[in-house]
Every structure is written in C-alpha cells, then in structure tokens.
Amino acid sequence: MKKVAVITGGASGIGLAIARRFIEGNFKVIIVGRDTIKLRAACKTLGDESDFFSCDLADLTAIPGLVQQVIDKHGRIDILVNNAGINLKKPILDVTDEDYQKIILTNQTSAFCLTRSVAGFMQEQGAGCILNISSMASVYGLPYVIAYTASKAAIEGMTRAMAVELSPAGIRVNCIAPGFIKTNMSSVALEKDPERKGKVLSRTPMGRLGKPEEVANAAYFLASDEASFITGVILPVDGGNSIGF
C-alpha cells in the first residue's frame, strides 16, 4: 500500500518540489492551499497519484474537517508536511497587531492544529511522520521580519516538544530549516533588495541560493524509512548559510 502524504502549500515553491519528490518516491500526495486554480494546475503536473484540498489553514475551525475529508477519501495519512507559510517584511515599529497575528496564525498555530488533528489518526495507525519547515530566521537575527522570525523559532521549539510526546507512539517529528531558496517568496524578499541578496550570498559558503528540489530531497529522506531512527532533528538545508561568516 502506498504511503499517503499531506503537504500544505504544496502547489508552489518548496511544497511543490516536495510533492514531486514524494511522487517519485512512490508516495500518494495530497496538496493543500487556498488557491484552487493553482492547486488543480499543480495536480495536473503531478499526475494520478496526487489530489488536492482547498483550505485556508488560518481558519482553524476548518482544520478537523479537512483532515476528516482526507481520511474519508484516502483512508490514512502517513506523512504530514507543515510547509505553508507567508512572510511580511516591515520594520518592527510599523508591524500592526493584525499583521503580527496573521503571520503567527498562518505559519505556526495552524501547523499545531493540523498536527494535533493528524496525530490522532497516526496514533491509531501506530506510525506516522511529521515534517515542519522553519527558516534561517530562527537561527540568527534577520531585520524586518519580526513576526516571521517569531513564528519560525516557535516551529523549531514545537518540533522538539512534539517529538518527545509523539515519538513513543511511533510518530517521528522532524524539521527542515531551509536557507535562502529560489522561490516566489524569496524573490519578493531579495530581488528588490540587492544589498540583502549580496549579504545572503556572501555568508553562504556555497555562494548561491538553493533550489526547491534540494529541500525536497532532504524532506524525502526524513519522511522515508531510511530515517527510521531520526526524530526531533532540525536539519539546515542552506549551503552552509547557518555557519557562514
């Protein structure tokens, strides 16, 4: 029986690359996002072993229903990738309470709610794998992304807390901390700010941005049985950015 993987934000960027890699690795893939047109187009490229559900994960009340729909249609969830995320680049003094709450809700609280819902089913299955996506923002102080940074630091703390509680039930919980990866999100942040891009590249020993496929390969490894004794890990996939000077 094929493993069933749910990937949030799976219609673009890093999430889509993970979806492609999982399909290559013989998983069935369910992608989740808000934009139905984008989701349908992504599934067309992913092929018959993919499906999509449209859901705004910032609406926490919709999450248990979403999980039940996936279970009703596909029977199980073996892997959950909490990849959906948004960014906001603003100086601290300009960030409103609403701005801040929206980022925390989308990037962190929704990942907690979805994991709680899915982990219940995984516990009954006696096995499962949760993969969170954090960021270099949780490693060092990046200016102008205060809410994003708080959300991603929380994702890493949550990864460890989830791993100690869920691993005894056979549910491994890990996290990937991508460096600067070429997607729409990073293009918005870097292409209009050459100074920031120069700084990123100068402290990345490999001297380039990463490709979504390079994050996807790490995600596949962590989701596969090859990583059967790995839990609670935060894996940077960053060309050395986190240790660069």
Is residue 13 within the footprint of ligand NDP (CB under 6 A)? yes
Site string for ligand NDP, 109-148 (x = CB under 6 A): ------------------------x-x-------------
Q: Contacting ligand NDP (CB under 6 A), which of 9, 25, 236, 239?
A: 9
Q: Considering the rule CB under 6 A, would residue 66 count as an interface residue with ligand NDP?
A: no
> Is 25 a residue that touches ligand NDP (CB under 6 A)?
no
Choice between 10 and 25, CB closer to ligand NDP: 10
Catalytic residue list contains 100: no
- Measured from the Cβ of residue 91, the count of other Cβ atoms closer than 10 Å reads 9
The reply on whether position 84 binds ligand NDP by CB under 6 A is yes
Report the C-alpha gap between 152 and 158 in whole angstroms: 10
Q: How far apart are CA 222 and CA 231, in angstroms?
A: 9
Q: Does 33 bind ligand NDP (CB under 6 A)?
A: yes
Residue 110 and residue 60 in contact, taking contact as beta carbons nearer than 8 Å = yes
CA-nearest of 242, 224, 123, 88 to 177 is 242
Q: Which is nearer to ligand NDP, 127 or 151 (CB)?
A: 151
56 in contact with ligand NDP (CB under 6 A) = yes
Supply φ then ψ for residue 110, to 5 degrees. -65, -35
Element (H, E) at 235: strand 234-237
Which active-site residues does the annotation give? 148
